Amino acid sequence: MFDIDKWQEIFATIKKNKMRTFLTGFSVAWGIFMLMILLGSGNGLSNGVANNFMNDAVNAMWIWRGETTIPYEGMKSGRPIQFHNDDQEIVQKVPGVGVSSGRYFMGNTRYSYLKESGEYTTITCQPALKDVENLILNEGRFINDLDIIQKRKVVVIGADIKTALFKDSVALGEYVNVNMVPFKVVGICSEPGSTQNRNAYMPLSTAQMIFSGSNKLHNLALTINATTLEESQAIEEQIRNALGKQHKFDPKDEGAIGLYNKLENYIQTMKIFQAIKIFIWIIGIGTLIAGIVGVSNIMLIVVKERTKEIGIRKAIGASPSSVIGLILLESIMITTIAGYIGLVLGTGLMEMINYFMVQGADAAAAAAANGGERGESIFLNPTVDINIAVYSTLLLIVAGAIAGYIPAKRAASIKPIVALRDE
Amino acid sequence: MIRLNNINKSYVMGSNSLHVLKGIDLQIEQGDFVSIMGSSGSGKSTLLNILGMLDNYDSGTYHLSGNLIQNMSEKKAAKYRNDLVGFIFQSFNLISFKNAMENVALPLYYKGVPRKKRNQIALEYLEKLGLKDWANHMPNEMSGGQKQRVAIARALISQPKIILADEPTGALDSATSYEVMDILKKVNDDGITVIIVTHEHDIAAMTNQIIRLKDGLIHEIIRNGELKQFQKEYTHGLEAAQIPSYV
């Protein structure tokens, strides 16, 4: 095996038969290269979509008001449902609910600081909203329980609002006028995966006291502790029952309250991705088979082309095993090197795409911080498991070796005079 | 040296069987210079291939240097070929992607001689045959006569006991043919048995013994006095041919 003379003989043969070597190598390198690209793209797509789901907590749920569509307990349909603060407490008590927050939206609230002003949406909420929406705090803190209890006049502003009102100066601890009422800025936040950060958050209790004068809520945001579709649907049903009892509507009335269960969506989307993954694997295996057929074909032709050479070598004293060994070692060496090249090129290309996408994302984030818009990426980390890559390459090498061995064995075992007659 | 006893050989082609050798009895001694003649299909090439262990025979016995050559494995046959026999073919059978020196050195590769040493020996043999300057040329850059001389060097490098040549001059013009025959004569003078297959009378006339095959049987063996007659008849062109001084 490690006979230097044998390797010199092999290298001499490879050097003198460049086209043959290239074709054999190319079929393997191309197969591996395409496999890397396909699997990498599939993984990238899957990772990208999964990441977009992470923008909010995967187990988030939103509940909003509606109108009844089914007559219930003597009341006719078409009755609007109104949430109040106690609804949040009711939902919080449902088993399986993680954290929850009531929300009251104030559209077009005027924010002003010194000479700058602008109109933004204010979301009045409870501390748990941060966890439901996965809000990122760039500076300071989010609304806390003390803010709620003491009805503090504090506000967490979106990064875009900070940029618009404060430019480069420090916003934390400053007072902004919200509809002419001064609020202290305690935090600057941004929403993951969002193109803009133009929302401001203030304590629900404070806002209800100052602006709305009531205990009304627009919607409820919460997280649930469920791992399967069935569990999450059970929690959903319990919430409908609890709210139905409170507001006297049929729990089966889909119109009375709106409900978006992110986990349910996530699980379903992941199922689709499972299917896409299987599809990509089928394509990958198809590519591999095409590669195997390609390399086998070339090996058959190579051995056929060398039949006469085999005859000559045998006539001057080569044993069949030495002839087979020479051909096999040559083909294994070519396919191994070519497979490695395909592997390096394929993963290299995917890493390059990944690198530029990460750079692009960073640039977009920088632009977003300056008030620009940030696009969502559905392609993330498009790389392939190295084990899969290596095993695929080995499979091609073994297939090439077998495809070369069978005709080489036949050519080496026939009478040399028959091999010599081959033209 | 070579003992053939009632050798039979048939080729099966589909449902037809072609009986090529129908019982050959033959003795060839060490140092003989023999030509095998016969019309096409008389079995002369088949006989040579059996002598060279390139092909097997159906029945009879074949002893080469005291060893019975019968139903041996390809591995063993390869060893015998490497040790005892040197081949020269009509179509030269050089490996096209190797230069002259590498072609000549190849039998020594299978003897396990290190690369440097075998290339050096190959150069010596090429020099003997007047091809030293062509050592690094590829076969397709050489003339027919040069290729055949490379093939002869390759046959000689393993120092065989027998040289088997199948129509060695078949692809060459007559002047070159005589050159090649002169080389083979020199080889024979060194004590190596040379057996050639030919259908050209003037070529056969240069050997010491002519075996005529007819329909798979030995028709006649021409030697001694009869041979002189044969030579007289067929060598009138020989003196006219140029023989280069290096041989």
pLDDT of residue B151: 94
User: What tokens were used for B82?
Assistant: 């490497």
Average pLDDT over residues A355-369: 68
- Could you give the dihedral angle defined by the CA atoms of residues B132, B135, B137 and B140, in that order, rounded to the nearest 10 degrees? 90
Mutation target vs B (from A7, A14, A316; most B CBs, 10 A cutoff): A316
A406 in the same domain as A372:
yes
pLDDT confidence band for A376 (50 / 70 / 90): low
Residues contacting A60, CB < 8 A, separation 6+: A132, A133, A221, A222, A223, A262, A263
Residue B20 lies in a domain: yes
Answer with the residue of higher pLDDT: A379 or B154: B154
Looking at the fold, whether A312 and A384 belong to one and the same domain comes out as yes
Residues A48 and A171 occupy one common structural domain: no
What pLDDT score was predicted for residue A141?
94
Is there a contact between A240 and A35 (Cβ–Cβ < 8 Å)?
A: no
Cβ contact A317–B89 (<8 Å): no
A415 part of contact set with chain B, CB < 8 Å: yes
Same domain as A233, residue A112: yes
Q: Is A21 exposed, middle or buried (0-12, 13-18, 19+ CB in 10 A)?
A: buried
**CB within 8 Å of A32: residues ≥ 6 apart:** A291, A339, A342, A343, A346, A389, A392, A393, A396
Domain presence at residue B96: yes
pLDDT at B142: 94
B190-to-A73, A168, A215, B162, B193 alpha-carbon distances in Å: 125, 103, 122, 11, 9
What is the C-alpha to C-alpha distance for residues A102 and A203, in angstroms, rounded to an integer?
A: 10
Residues 106-135 of B with CB under 8 A from A: 106-107, 109-111, 114-115
Residue A373's pLDDT is 43
CB B61 within 8 A of CB B72: no
Give the residue-averaged pLDDT of A197-221: 89
Which chain B residues have a beta carbon less than 8 Å from that of A13? 97
Q: Which of B56, B79, B109 is closest, CB to CB, to A415?
A: B56
More confident residue, A224 or A49: A224
| Interface contact A321-B95, CB threshold 8 A | no
Alpha helices in A134-209 (DSSP H): 145-150, 159-166, 204-207
Per the domain annotation, does B239 fall within a domain? Answer: no
Asked whether residue B126 is domain-assigned, the answer is: yes
Could you report the per-residue pLDDT of A275-309, keeping only the tens digit for each?
888 888 888 888 888 888 888 888 888 888 888 88
In a domain, B245, yes or no: no
Are A401 and A380 in the same domain? yes
Check which CATH number belongs to the domain holding B17 and give it: 3.40.50.300
* Count of domains for chain A: 2
Statement to judge: residues A50 and A64 lie in one domain:
no
Q: Answer whether residue B167 is part of any domain.
A: yes
Under the banding of pLDDT at 50, 70 and 90, the label for residue A122 is very high
Q: What is the DSSP string of B168-203?
A: TTTTS-HHHHHHHHHHHHHHHHTT-EEEEE---HHH
Q: C-alpha angle with apex B201: B200 to B204, nearest 5 degrees? A: 90
Question: Does the model's pTM come out above 0.80?
Answer: no
- The reply to whether A127 and A262 lie within a common domain is yes
Asked if residue B72 has pLDDT above 90, the reply is no
Q: Are residues A220 and A295 in the same domain?
A: no
pLDDT at A187: 94
Range of the domain at A128: 60-266
- A47 and A72 belong to one structural domain: no
Amino acid at A155: V
The mean per-residue pLDDT over the stretch B233-244 comes to 58
B182-201 mean pLDDT: 92
Residue B67 has pLDDT above 90, yes or no: no
pLDDT at residue A129, as a whole number:
92
pLDDT score at A127: 93
- Give the structural domain span for B109: 2-234
pLDDT in tens, A393-418: 888 888 888 888 888 888 888 888 88
Would you call B97 and A313 a contact, using CB atoms and an 8 Å cutoff? Answer: no
Name every chain A residue with its beta carbon within 8 A of the beta carbon of B158: 316-317
* For residue B243, pLDDT beyond 60: no
A144 shares its domain with A31? no
- Position B71 in a domain: yes
Q: Do A28 and A106 belong to one domain? A: no
> Do the Cβ atoms of B87 and A412 come within 8 Å?
no
In this predicted structure, the answer to whether residue B196 has a pLDDT above a threshold of 60 is yes
| Cβ–Cβ contact B56 with A under 8 A | yes
Nearest-CB residue to A316 (from B82, B114, B115): B82
Q: Which of B182, B170, B159, B161 is nearest to B243 (CA)?
A: B182
Number of domains in chain B: 1
In chain A, which residues have their Cβ closer than 8 Å to the Cβ of B154?
316
Q: Is the pLDDT of residue A422 over 80?
A: no
**Averaged pLDDT, B110-134:** 92
Across the interface, whether the CB atoms of B107 and A420 are under 8 A apart is answered: no
Q: Does one domain contain both A305 and A347? A: yes
- What is residue A185's predicted lDDT score, i.e. its pLDDT? 95
**Contacts A–B by Cβ distance under 8 A:** 70
